Amino acid sequence: SQQGEEDPQALSIQEGENATMNCSYKTSINNLQWYRQNSGRGLVHLILIRSNEREKHSGRLRVTLDTSKKSSSLLITASRAADTASYFCATDSYMIYNQGGKLIFGQGTELSVKP
């Protein structure tokens, strides 16, 4: 089962521009995470924001979370060609501690950064 939607599905920008991706989800969550995937290989964890947090920064990444609207956004500033990848939001909604997570992914955004 999939958690929600991401938009846009595809985004093409020039190097140096900012990229914003949005994610909506349906159920209550413990945290929301963003991942990057290059060329259909493994996913790389970018950032995690907990349900009681509203904004988080990590380097060129800024994530916001609005639990009342069940939505999140990822901003990548000063983009580079190396940022070209698929970006996925994922929500973790484990109900029982000590039993691992239950990470469910959104549909993803394909980002293309042109030199």
Partner 1 sequence: DTEVTQTPKHLVMGMTNKKSLKCEQHMGHRAMYWYKQKAKKPPELMFVYSYEKLSINESVPSRFSPECPNSSLLNLHLHALQPEDSALYLCASSQVDFVDRGGYGYTFGSGTRLTVV
Name 72's bridge partners.
Answer: 23, 65
The residue among 50 and 54 lying less far from partner 1, judged by its C-beta, is 50
Distance in Å, CB of 10 to partner 1, minimum: 11
Selection from 37, 5, 7 nearest residue 20 by Cα: 7
Please pick, from the candidates 65, 79, 106, 113, the single residue that binds partner 1 as defined by CB under 8 A: 106
User: What is 28-69 written as a DSSP string?
Assistant: --SEEEEEEESTTS-EEEEEEEETT-SEEEETTEEEEEETTT
* Complex with partner 1: residue 7 or 17, whichever CB lies closer: 7
Under the binding rule (CB under 8 A), the answer on residue 39 touching partner 1 is no
Binding site for partner 1 (CB under 8 A): 1-2, 30-31, 33, 35, 40-45, 48, 50-52, 88, 92, 94, 96-108
